Structure 1
Amino acid sequence: MHNYKCNLFVPKSVWIKKLQESGILTQKKDGSWRPIARPSLLYLSDVEILNTYNSEIRGLYNYYKLAKNVSVLNKFMYFMKYSLYMTFASKYKSSVPKILDKYMKDKVFTVWYDTKKGRKSVSLYCNGFKIDKSVSSTTDKLPNTMKYKVQTELTQRLNANRCEICGTSDGKMEVHHVRKLKSLKGKAYWERMMLARKRKTLVLCTSCHHKLHAGKLD
């Protein structure tokens, strides 16, 4: 006998499409799927990369947390997780096992960063995908990945006191700012970095900042 209740389900096509649109998934010749690294994120900081993945995972889960089969997002999580590992491996020209040795803490992928109040960390989402029958104001809202790339991230980058071009930590860092990303031609490395990050700011040491304005910074 039917109880005439409306049930929500997570279609496989939805999370597959999400992975494909994010550049996380590719299909092999035999028809099976495999995760891949995301070149578009390689210019971001470790914290930004991890926060991007977390926001996408939480965004899809928040949208479907009332679904009866929401646990299928564990399959979605598998591809997200290994794509993250492969992205870090690609960024540092390393292997996935070496990246895991470096970033795993208590079996959770964790990134550490420095602030004026000391070292802090952010970890990959690991709370599972259970049905949440409570009504949430976040339901039916798409994930906002841009919130991890604004003022909070800039503050963290300044607190890290590291030039994003030469890597030095000597001296006081300065912020180079452009009004519009469209004004960048992408010929110099620093321009390609800003375009790839979709960020109008760049943290530089005094030397690199002077070279940039003199047109001598590649």
Structure 2
Amino acid sequence: MANLTSRHPTLASATGNDGRRAPCPCCKPNTPWYYKNGRIAWFPEERVIRNMGADCFKSINPTGHAEAERLFREEEAQRRNEAYLLRCLPQVPEALAAIDQNAPTIADIDRVRFILSDRMTRTIGFDLWEHLRSDGSPLLANIYLHELDQHMQMMKADFDKGRERRPFPRYVALERRVLSLRRKIERLRAEGADRAEIDAAFAEIKAINKDRRKLPSVDPMDPNFKRLRYCRYADDFLIGVIGSKREACEIMACVERFLTETLKLAVSPEKSGVHAASKGVTFLSYRVSTYTSYGAGRKSSRKGPAGRTWRVMRRPTTGNVSLRVPRKEVTKFCKQHNYGDLAKKTGSPREQFLVTSDVATVLAYNSEFRGFANYHSFADDIKSALGLLELVVFRSLVKTLAMRHRTTRARTMVRLWKGTDYEVSSVVRGKLRSIKLWRLKHLTRAYWTSPTIDNVTAGAWWVKRPNDLIDRLNARKCEACGDATGPFEMHHLRRLGDLRSGSLTVWKRSGWRRKTIVLCPSCRAVVSDREHARTESRVH
């Protein structure tokens, strides 16, 4: 009998003196791959320890294997708990103080639990209690950081100062000089003066306006005008300050001190810091920064003496706060989904979609790209920032469909093109249904003043578990034995262990369709160990 002592062998027991890994003596004497899930077994009768594969150990002693697995998992869980307690031991006093401080609030929540679960569920449409108790919920952060919100409100009331910035002295002087020259031109015209003198006054005004456009109209560093803005989502917050850098550093030090001493929270040094507004900072996957438009501006009407009006060019404003899409977020999203190379503008075929239909593939691509674009729809540069990503996603889709149908990309694009958009079609219950490939031109930008909530990303379930039930039933073929006579039924498995027939071993290896299978009546009886009284197709 062998006893299991460790789930994963250490490096010393897995390698020999020459650096080569020891093989399994039972099934794989010439390969070390079993070590990905290997075992160290103790044989009491022979008084030896052997490295073995998991399957071999289970076949030698099934009962002992199950018992050893259970004991090992209990010991491993106990070791993890002990390590966690030892690691958190220095923080126990702070944790107890935080619990005592928030115990009244938690007790009040417990008293109104049934009200929250019953009445508010019908009112707001979701279970508030479940969201409150779920791990990582923003509601828990809102409760715990409510004191920080109140602290920032008091800091804002003490810091804000002044109603508007004072005028910039040099700009005001030049403005007065232009006004006096315009009055001089009106006087010269009334007196019938020489045209050359009037043109000289206009030339001087043009030169002054050129210098004036280089200056700010108000003092950007006015000490009598200060503002503090605070925005928080869950445990991430952003503080904007109109003031000096020294004042911004003082505010940050005050907030860190409040979080550390009052709330017993640690501030991440990698994600925190004081940054210039022109350089920007990343907040909730957005790049928040200020910018200055260098366009020509726009014209507006000005009124002068005796009802005279003229058109003047108004320069664009400076220091406008904007939301932009960080380049690293686009690169990360593209790499995470294996779309391709953004730098080379090339798409890569995705092998996980080679076993699905065109409809499921397009729905998956649409859900992924549309969800990313909708999240960043508030950004000012959404179209320019995601334009290259859209191209790579499209090329990845075309290559995937071309590889699936074993054809060229050009033929695939011609097949998908329907005049104005790329579409795929399928017949559902006798009706033709077309699904468009989602592009940035289909994006509807909803600004923060709009009460509409975009809910089009509900198709993300296709990405997690596409099933293609219709296409597989339309194939009219048993996926277990290959019979084409029919009738057929889509069978849902409770567990993979229900497939006990040798002819279904190929189906066991399929991770994509591991929960459903198209079966004929004979295979259906083999799977369930009983004759199915009524077998039919769910589509035909």
TM-score of the pair, normalised by structure 1? 0.73
Is residue 45 from structure 1 mapped to residue 357 from structure 2 by the alignment?
Answer: yes
CA contact (8 A) 2:416 2:422 kept: yes
Query: Which structure features the higher share of helix residues?
Result: 2
Counterpart of 2:512 in structure 1 is 196
> Shift of residue 147 of structure 1?
4.9
SS of residue matched to 1:53: helix
Q: State how far apart, in whole Å, the 1-side matches of 2:522 and 2:414 are.
A: 33
CA contact (8 A) 2:325 2:382 kept: yes
> Which residue identity does 1:99 align to in structure 2?
T
> Shift of residue 208 of structure 1?
8.6
> Which residue identity does 1:123 align to in structure 2?
K
507, 520, 534: which one pairs with 1:206?
520
Counterpart of 1:18 in structure 2 is 333
| Matches for 1:1-218 after TM superposition, within 5 Å | 6-26=321-341, 32-71=344-383, 72-126=385-439, 128=441, 129=443, 131-133=445-447, 134-138=450-454, 145-147=460-462, 154=469, 156-157=470-471, 160=474, 162-163=476-477, 165=479, 171-180=486-495, 188-193=505-510, 195-196=511-512, 200-202=515-517, 204=518, 206=520, 209=523, 213=527
Deviations 1:166-185 (A, max 9, x none): 9987643311322246999x
> Which residue identity does 1:61 align to in structure 2?
A
Counterpart of 2:49 in structure 1 is none
> Shift of residue 90 of structure 1?
1.3
Task: Decide whether aligned partners of structure 1 residues 26 and 126 sit closer, same or farther in structure 2, where only a CA change above 3 A counts.
Answer: closer
> Shift of residue 58 of structure 1?
1.0
Task: Decide whether aligned partners of structure 1 residues 209 and 62 sit closer, same or farther in structure 2, where only a CA change above 3 A counts.
Answer: farther
Q: State how far apart, in whole Å, the 2-side matches of 1:160 and 1:6 are.
A: 55
> Shift of residue 188 of structure 1?
4.3
Q: State how far apart, in whole Å, the 1-side matches of 2:459 and 2:472 are.
A: 23
Root mean square deviation, CA, Å:
3.9
Identity across matched positions, percent: 23
**Which fold has the larger relative contact order, with Cα–Cα distance below 8 Å and residues 6 or more apart in sequence?**
1
List gaps (5 residues or longer) in structure 1: none
CA contact (8 A) 1:108 1:124 kept: yes
> Shift of residue 163 of structure 1?
3.6
Deviations 1:106-144 (A, max 9, x none): 1522211112141211110135156432354348x9876
Deviations 1:32-53 (A, max 9, x none): 3521000012112221111000
**Aligned length in residues:** 204
Q: State how far apart, in whole Å, the 2-side matches of 1:22 and 1:182 are.
A: 32
> Shift of residue 96 of structure 1?
0.7
Deviations 1:53-94 (A, max 9, x none): 000111011101110000021211111111000001111222
> Which residue identity does 2:520 align to in structure 1?
T
SS of residue matched to 1:76: helix
> Which residue identity does 1:191 align to in structure 2?
K
> Which residue identity does 2:322 align to in structure 1?
N
CA contact (8 A) 1:110 1:122 kept: yes
> Which residue identity does 2:325 align to in structure 1?
V
Task: Decide whether aligned partners of structure 1 residues 181 and 88 sit closer, same or farther in structure 2, where only a CA change above 3 A counts.
Answer: farther
> Which residue identity does 1:22 align to in structure 2?
H
Report which stretch shifted further, 158-167 or 60-69: 158-167
List gaps (5 residues or longer) in structure 2: 1-215, 217-316, 529-540
Q: State how far apart, in whole Å, the 1-side matches of 2:525 and 2:370 are.
A: 41
Task: Decide whether aligned partners of structure 1 residues 80 and 178 sit closer, same or farther in structure 2, where only a CA change above 3 A counts.
Answer: same
CA contact (8 A) 1:162 1:205 kept: no
> Shift of residue 209 of structure 1?
4.1
